[in-house]
Amino acid sequence: MLQPINVSLESLNLITLAPMLIVIAGALIILILDLINNKLHKSLYVMLTLLILFVDFGAVLGLNVNERGFFDVMLIDGISIISQLMIIVGSMIFIPLALTSRRFHEYSYPEFFALFLFMIAGFQFMVTSDNLILIFVGIETASLALYTLIALHNRSNSYEAAVKYFTMGALAAAFYAMGSAVIYGLTGSIELYKVAEVMATRINETGLMIAIFGSSVLLLVAFSFKLSLFPFHTWAPDVYEGASAPLAGFMSVVPKIAAFVVSIRIFGMYIDLGVEWVRIIILVMAVLTMTLANIMALVQEDVKRMLAYSSISHAGFIMAALALDTTEGTTAIFLYYALFMFTNLGAFSMLWISRHKNRRFDARYDHPYEKFAGFIQIMPVGAVIMGLFMLSLAGVPPFSVFWGKIYVMQAAVNAGYVWLAIVMGLNSAIAAYYYLKLIVYMFLMDPVKDVDTIYYNLSKPLMAVIGLATLATVTAIFYVQPLISYLYYMISASGY
Amino acid sequence: MDNILSVLVFFPAIAGLLGFVVNKDSARAYGITVAAIEFFLSLWLWLSFDSSNAGMQFVELIPLIPDMGIGYYVGVDGISLFIILMATLMTLIGMMSMTITKNIKNMIITLLFLEMTMIGVFVALDAIIFYLFWELSLVPMLYIIGAWGGPLRVYASVKFFLYTFTGSLIMLVGMLFMAYVYHNLTGVWSFAITDWYSLVLPVNYQLWLFAAFFFGFAIKVPMFPFHTWLPYAHGQAPTIGSVILAAVLLKMGTYGFVRFSLPMFPDASVMMITPIAILAIIMIIYTAMVAYAQKDIKQVIAYSSVSHMGIIMLGIFAMNAEGISGSVFQMLSHGIVSGALFMLVGVIYDRRHTKLMSEFGGLASVMPKYAVIFGIMLMASVGLPLTIGFVGEFLVLLGFYQVSPIMTILAGTSIIIGAIYMLAVYKKTFFGPVTNEANKTLKDLDSKETWSLIPLVLIVIWLGVYPKPVLEPIDNSVKAMVSFMHEKAITQEAKDMIKVAKTDKGGF
């Protein structure tokens, strides 16, 4: 007869679960509210979501560094805390973008907000665990919610995007499951810290290297899909194009932060074990990703697709920092995303305010470059702000992304990869061309046709979000120092 | 006022921001007033500058990102002082003579931001702050060329931006590597140029770093074979754009060599004397020949401008006080003279909307004042004694003669070719009978144009006759730098090549 299991509530350390529980409870509250009264306006749900995220933020801030909980599957270390904070901040910028002046049917469903919060809970589970199964559960929770959110948008290619993303996501999940299975077969464990211990003892056994290498390749493929790295990036532009502009901006930042945290945990382990192959493959993929995505971005005719390719290129940039496996490299990943988040979400919001019901400029694209021709004459402030975002993305100092760029490049130089820093520099130069193309259209061309209503979708909350993003982009020089020291402290505290 | 440099940097920027509020009919007056105040502030800087002190003055240091060693660190010495003065002067005069009426408010605001970045580059003593202003200066120039330029303006402006941006990103990697080396040796992160000066680097490091910085600076200068963006930029830019580009923006490249490459990598600089001198001589002779073949007056001046930049490069790599002081002086003279020449071309373009020499002829009889001023500037550009152009060119050639007499003679031919193409321009445009009907009714310079050009004529003659007040502070700082380089050089040939002046009698 089985012994009853005695678990004291103390040892569970339930506080480590608190942030996710808050978000899930919040999502359930939204669903219950809808059950009671289904005539409530979206503004209520937006504000409610913001408040729940605010409480979540507080709960994450209150966590102690380097704790485990809930049968040791939860791991609260420095990178899990900073990544959760960034995920929440990114979501808090994203959610007010629902308050447009036009009506979009996805926001009239409270389920949108509930799903959104479930997705955040999924991301939080992903980053606060080193248990391969819990990570898997987190990935799938978040991804399934995200597929639905994309499909809710009212464009015909939104469904295409959602299905494409779903198919690719399922494929990635399969690779992930296989990779984890190989790891379990090798080490008899799914907890990464135990896996690392066992692997370290067995690494010199003959014939085992191929299995270790195989597991890393399977996992790398899975995360390359999630991070949209070459050659697994092909879904990204179509999905970004099909999704609504704010959601595309969100997807270029928040899910990637979560996936990067897991990648740091898994591939950092391989590199620490001395499996140099992993480092080389990551470097090669990173360089190819940033270069090829840049070249593809040059020939895009649609601003949103251009931004999609540029996001892929930025992801490649950051992936290179992962291969360095130094504290500085890891800090660079978070610093880059913290700075990139505001600028990129701001740029996508600028597309969002120019969203029209019908495609007025091009039969195929929502945001062709022609749409922004002469933007400076139609909406001077908007053009200047969009110009600032583009310059920031191109890495022109003193705007935010520049500081991320030089930190990544400095980390590469410090780790002895001067050639990598030069490749990054040249890639920034290529990238400057397509950002400049938009600036040229906005500032140096004349408007094409009845463009009086470019800023069709503008509303006060959107202005506030864009204003915040602009402020964060322009004043980066003043807050980079505290940001770096906080990130560096948290990351070195958890031993990365 | 100890923080006058910060005032100088940020005054135009704040004025530019406030300029958004100013009514567009008053924007021109606003711009000129602000530029005049800025010019007087820079004169004040000169007055309070201690000419006998060769080091950095008015130094300000505010740490911005201590974890990376980045701080707001500015200062001025004899080398940068006069370039700053020239930048404020040329901005003021450029604005005064501006005839653009389309979107005048945007133009004024853009120019004020450009002025901030120009001064920022020349006062920065922190590599990242230098890089920041350096890159930021591209944006206003892109807009000026792209929005007010000729038919190919978009192509020209994008080419200008991408060329310079690519070069400076390689320079950025060099800066990051320099900071890394500094951190390895001292344990401290620092991007301060004065800290970097104290590093004695092994020769192979010096060579790599020299190459990285070379790309950034050479494209800006522009050195042959990276000069192809410049004729487009000049050809398409409006008059004010060409004036600022030729007078100030190109000087950023040569200033970079003096501020970074020479004192930081003395051995590599000495090893690179011959290759760079060859490039410079190709640049001098080849572009002078190209200039002779041009049909468009503005293109002639654009190419002659590249040719003169070659003289400046040659002087910098003479590695002695005469050559480098001559180069810095030549930067000023080139700024004033080519700026004035571009303004003069702008005058005729405003009247006839063409810049082709074949359209003109006999202008001297129709526009006598214009012809006189054009003549003086042209002579100064060729390097006639008693004009500003002579002093710098003479010192450069004198300095480089100690390195290689043959190359100096080759470079000296530029004066002859320069005289040929410039006089050809003058002959075709001003002498002979008035053949074109349209030219018979041309008006001479109006008071606005006259009053913007007269100060430049006075400076050209004053500094040509009596350059000492300007040359002396330059010479002081240059001598200090050269003896520092001599101390710091590790190879014997570098020590031999870098000649420290025996006497400290300044200049002339």
pLDDT digits (tens, 9 = 90+) for A384-409: 899 999 999 998 888 999 999 999 99
Contacts of residue B27, defined as CB under 8 A and 6 or more positions apart, other chains included, come to B19, B104, B105, B108, B109
Query: Is it the case that residue A452 has pLDDT exceeding 70?
Result: no
Query: Is it the case that residue A469 has pLDDT exceeding 90?
Result: yes
Write the pLDDT tens digit of every residue in B365-374.
Answer: 888 888 899 9
What percent of chain B has a predicted confidence (pLDDT) above 90?
34
Residues A78 and A84: their CA atoms lie apart, in Å, by: 10
CA distance A425 to chain B (A): 5
Contacts of residue B186, defined as CB under 8 A and 6 or more positions apart, other chains included, come to none
Residue among B176, B204, B209 with most chain A CBs within 10 A, to mutate? B176
Query: A124-128, A204-208, A372-376, B101-105: which has the minimum mean pLDDT?
Result: A204-208
| A477 within 8 A of B136, measured Cβ to Cβ | no
ipTM of the complex: 0.88
What percent of chain A has a predicted confidence (pLDDT) above 90?
49
Residue A459's region, left for phi above 0, alpha for psi from -120 to 50, else beta, is beta
Q: Evaluate whether residue B9 is within a structural domain.
A: no
Beta bridge partners of residue A74, listed in sequence order: A69, A129
Q: At what angle do helices B138-148 and A418-444 cross, to 10 degrees?
A: 30
B141 CB within 8 Å of a chain A CB: no
Q: Which residues of A touch B154 (CB under 8 A)?
A: 440, 444-445
Instruction: Work out the pLDDT band at B445, boundaries 50, 70, 90.
Output: confident
Q: Which residue range(s) make up the domain with B435?
A: 272-508
Q: Evaluate whether residue B401 is within a structural domain.
A: yes
| A344 within 8 A of A249, measured Cβ to Cβ | yes
Provide the pLDDT for residue A449.
65
How far does Cα A463 stand from its chain's mean position? 23
Average pLDDT of the segment spanning A96-100: 87
Number of domains composing chain B: 1
Average pLDDT of the segment spanning A201-215: 83
Query: Is it the case that residue B51 has pLDDT exceeding 70?
Result: yes
Backbone angles phi, psi at A243, to 5 degrees: -70, 160
Write the pLDDT tens digit of every residue in A135-155.
Answer: 999 999 999 999 999 988 877
Which residue's structure tokens are 């379990």? Answer: A184
Top-confidence residue, A86 or B499: A86
Query: Is it the case that residue B86 has pLDDT exceeding 60?
Result: yes
Instruction: Work out the pLDDT band at B506, boundaries 50, 70, 90.
Output: very low
- CA distances B14 to A120, A182, B110, B246, B291, Å, are 42, 62, 12, 25, 40
Provide the pLDDT for residue A146.
92
User: pTM for this one?
Assistant: 0.91
Top-confidence residue, A379 or B131: B131
A410 CB within 8 Å of a chain B CB: yes
Which range, A449-463, B41-55, B125-139, has the best average confidence (pLDDT)? B125-139
Backbone angles phi, psi at A86, to 5 degrees: -65, -40
For A436, the closest of B136, B161, B183 (CB atoms) is B161
Nearest chain B residue (CA) to A376: B106
Residues B133 and B255: their CA atoms lie apart, in Å, by: 14
Query: Is it the case that residue A333 has pLDDT exceeding 90?
Result: yes
Q: Evaluate whether residue B295 is within a structural domain.
A: yes
Provide the pLDDT for residue B356.
85
At B442 the three-state DSSP class reads coil
The answer for A 48-107 residues in CB contact with B (under 8 A) is none
B398 CB within 8 Å of a chain A CB: no
- CA distances B508 to A155, B194, B399, B467, B468, Å, are 77, 30, 14, 8, 7
Q: Evaluate whether residue B418 is within a structural domain.
A: yes
Residues B257 and B263: their CA atoms lie apart, in Å, by: 9
Strands B57-65 vs B70-76: parallel, antiparallel or unpaired: antiparallel
B493 burial level (CB within 10 Å; 0-12, 13-18, 19+): exposed
A484 CB within 8 Å of a chain B CB: yes
Q: Which residues of A touch B177 (CB under 8 A)?
A: 413, 418, 421
Provide the pLDDT for residue A451.
58
Residue type, B35: A
Query: Is it the case that residue B505 has pLDDT exceeding 50?
Result: no
| A232 within 8 A of A316, measured Cβ to Cβ | no
Q: Which residues of B touch A481 (CB under 8 A)?
A: 64-67
Residue among B162, B173, B180, B189 with most chain A CBs within 10 A, to mutate? B173
- CA distances B137 to A254, B72, B160, Å, are 34, 18, 12
Q: Evaluate whether residue B85 is within a structural domain.
A: no
Query: Is it the case that residue B459 has pLDDT exceeding 80?
Result: yes
Provide the pLDDT for residue A52.
94
Q: Evaluate whether residue B390 is within a structural domain.
A: yes
Residue among A294, A339, A396, A484 with most chain B CBs within 10 A, to mutate? A396
Write the pLDDT tens digit of every residue in B28-37.
Answer: 999 999 999 9
A398 CB within 8 Å of a chain B CB: yes
Instruction: Work out the pLDDT band at A7, boundaries 50, 70, 90.
Output: confident
Query: Is it the case that residue A457 has pLDDT exceeding 80?
Result: no
Residues A115 and A141: their CA atoms lie apart, in Å, by: 10
Q: Evaluate whether residue B150 is within a structural domain.
A: no
Beta bridge partners of residue B73, listed in sequence order: B61
Do A480 and B135 lie within an 8 Å CB cutoff?
no
Q: Which residues of A touch B105 (CB under 8 A)?
A: none
Q: Which residues of A touch B69 (CB under 8 A)?
A: none
B442 CB within 8 Å of a chain A CB: no
| A318 within 8 A of A409, measured Cβ to Cβ | no
Do A410 and B176 lie within an 8 Å CB cutoff?
yes
Instruction: Work out the pLDDT band at B507, boundaries 50, 70, 90.
Output: very low
Q: Which residues of B touch A440 (CB under 8 A)?
A: 146, 154, 157-158
Q: Evaluate whether residue B183 is within a structural domain.
A: no
Query: A176-190, A345-359, B232-246, B296-310: which has the minimum mean pLDDT?
Result: A345-359
Provide the pLDDT for residue B9.
92
Beta bridge partners of residue B499, listed in sequence order: B320
Share the mean pLDDT of chain A: 88
A442 CB within 8 Å of a chain B CB: no
Provide the pLDDT for residue B125.
92
What percent of chain B has a predicted confidence (pLDDT) above 70?
98
